[in-house]
């Protein structure tokens, strides 16, 4: 459930008319709802009841400092994949002791900073990363907490670009190789066994693949326990899907209940790394219709947002709902491709949408709170949109619109 609803014939973000936000900050603009973000985070947290757990929000989904800060205030942990994300978490007031560091290609400087600030653990997925970590930890006189990310080889049944838990993907360590690596960690005086993790993909709409992955992880954890190697937590990654269109993903409460049932009273601490399920439906992208263009083949609504602002439709052919901010009944509904000004045929936000549109009308692309702004770029030298956080009846400019000057900041011509 989210807090973007129609009242008196127009779309509101919490208690603020979206049209008023567009009037104040212009378009295109990302608009986030505080109440929605918090509700989604709490849904995961509350579902565990008294079972030991930590919700580590996946920063890559939406890394605005204001968003991270809200979650940090709730006591959230964070899943990061770069030193940039680590610094964001720290600046937003996140607790480094609740940070897990994922990713296949962690550089030495990234490992060093994470060791310095004392993160919860490194989700290691390349054996050589252990050598690097061990050397750095020794140099720094510390122990590096390690969780191995295993590849459970389960089919997440999602888009191939965002499926990560199959043998042919670059992610994770083969389950069969893991026990030896754990023995190596346990024997090292500069590494410490912390946990085990997996992440099988994103936008999953069924619980079964998660349960299959949990089974693999449990089997490994119990095998290790039998030889005296004790893990402190099981981290099942992120990946719970949301409704964009007609998907029916399990609710966080249903997903967590299924995990706890499968755990059957075993008291491992569970970590989850949800990104999309927290931020996705907590944001919209507001855009204005510039032109309605008729070609011999079809109608195009050319809007002021483009693939550089929201890449998902172009990259994954993702379907995101596009709704009018002020629905009209004074003009005919037509079928439109909603496209941006970028010079690419793939520059669309939606295709074949039935809408009653006039030039100048505002549209909202829904479910844009995750992998929206974070995947945006300056392609076609387009300044990126502002991010506005709505909090009840108040607006907070969480990131100002980029200026033209921002576009060439850091660039130099030859002397």
> Per the annotation, where are the binding residues for pyridoxal 5'-phosphate?
239, 273-276, 371
Token pair in block for residue 33: 């709802």
Out of 274, 283, 340, 350, the residue judged to bind ligand LLP by CB under 6 A? 274
Distance CA(50)–CA(26), nearest Å, equals 45
CA angle 371, 104, 45 (to 5 degrees): 55
Q: How would DSSP label each residue in 255-275?
A: HHHHHHHHHTT---EEEE--S
In the residue annotation, 121 being an active-site residue is answered as no
Query: Is 256 or 362 the residue whose CB approaches ligand LLP more closely?
Result: 256
Query: Is 72 a binder of ligand LLP (CB under 6 A)?
Result: no
Query: Is 62 a binder of ligand LLP (CB under 6 A)?
Result: no
Out of 371, 384, 386, 388, the residue judged to bind ligand LLP by CB under 6 A? 371
Query: Is 202 a binder of ligand LLP (CB under 6 A)?
Result: yes
Residue listed under structure tokens 């793939």: 346
Smallest gap from Cβ 30 to ligand LLP, in A, equals 14
Single out the residue of 107, 359, 162 nearest to residue 275, CA to CA.
162
> What character string, x for contact with ligand LLP (CB under 6 A) and - otherwise, covers 126-165?
------------------------------------x---
Query: Is 238 a binder of ligand LLP (CB under 6 A)?
Result: yes
If DSSP codes are grouped into helix, strand and coil, which group holds residue 145?
strand
> What character string, x for contact with ligand LLP (CB under 6 A) and - otherwise, covers 303-332?
---------x---x----------------
Binding residues with ligand LLP: total (CB under 6 A): 22
Stretch that binds ligand LLP, among 24-32, 179-187, 225-233, 238-246 (CB under 6 A): 238-246
Single out the residue of 272, 310, 269, 220 nearest to residue 28, CA to CA.
310
Query: Is 27 a binder of ligand LLP (CB under 6 A)?
Result: no
Query: Is 239 a binder of ligand LLP (CB under 6 A)?
Result: yes
Cis peptide upstream of residue 28 (ω within 30 degrees of 0): yes
Residue listed under structure tokens 């970028």: 342
Q: How would DSSP label each residue in 324-372?
A: ESS--SSS--EEEEEE-SSSSTT-EEEEEEEE---TT-EEEESS-SSSS
Catalytic residues: 343
**Site residues (vs ligand LLP, CB under 6 A):** 58, 61, 79, 102, 162, 199, 202-203, 237-240, 273-277, 312, 316, 370-371, 375
């Amino acid at each position: 459930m989210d807090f973007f609803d129609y009242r008196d014939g127009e779309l509101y973000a919490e208690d603020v008319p979206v049209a008023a936000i567009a009037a104040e900050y212009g378009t295109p603009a990302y608009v986030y709802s505080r109440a929605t973000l918090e509700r989604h985070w709490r849904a995961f947290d509350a579902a565990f009841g008294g079972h030991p757990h930590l919700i580590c929000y996946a920063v890559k989904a939406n890394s605005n400092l204001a968003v991270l800060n809200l979650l940090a205030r709730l006591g959230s942990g964070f899943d990061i994949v770069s030193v940039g994300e680590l610094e964001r978490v720290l600046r937003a007031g996140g607790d480094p002791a609740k940070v897990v560091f994922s990713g296949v290609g962690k550089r030495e400087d990234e490992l060093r900073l994470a060791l310095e600030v004392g993160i919860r653990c490194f989700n290691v997925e390349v054996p050589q990363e252990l050598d690097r970590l061990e050397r750095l930890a020794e140099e720094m006189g510390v122990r590096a907490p390690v969780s191995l990310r295993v590849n459970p080889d389960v089919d997440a049944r999602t888009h191939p670009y965002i499926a990560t838990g199959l043998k042919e993907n670059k992610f994770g360590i083969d389950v069969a190789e893991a026990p030896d690596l754990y023995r190596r960690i346990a024997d090292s005086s500069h590494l410490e066994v912390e946990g085990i993790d997996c992440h099988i993909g994103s936008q999953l709409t069924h619980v079964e693949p998660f349960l299959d992955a949990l089974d693999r992880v449990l089997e490994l954890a119990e095998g290790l326990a039998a030889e005296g190697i004790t893990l402190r937590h099981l981290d099942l990654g992120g990946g719970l899907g949301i409704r964009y269109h007609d998907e029916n993903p399990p609710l966080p409460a249903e997903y967590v209940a299924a995990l706890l049932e499968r755990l059957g009273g075993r008291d491992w601490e569970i970590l989850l790394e949800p990104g999309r399920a927290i931020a996705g439906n907590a944001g919209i992208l507001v855009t204005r219709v510039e032109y309605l263009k008729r070609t011999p083949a079809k109608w195009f609504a050319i809007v002021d947002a483009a693939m550089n602002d929201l890449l998902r439709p172009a990259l994954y052919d993702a379907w995101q709902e596009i709704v009018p901010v002020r629905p009209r009944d004074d003009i005919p509904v037509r079928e439109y491709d909603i496209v941006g000004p970028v010079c690419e045929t793939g520059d669309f936000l939606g295709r074949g949408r039935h809408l009653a549109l006039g030039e100048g009308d505002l549209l909202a692309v829904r479910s844009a709170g995750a992998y929206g702004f974070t995947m945006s770029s300056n392609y076609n030298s387009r300044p990126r949109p502002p991010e506005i956080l709505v909090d009840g009846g108040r607006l907070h400019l969480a990131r100002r619109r980029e200026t033209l000057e921002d576009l060439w900041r850091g660039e130099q011509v030859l002397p």
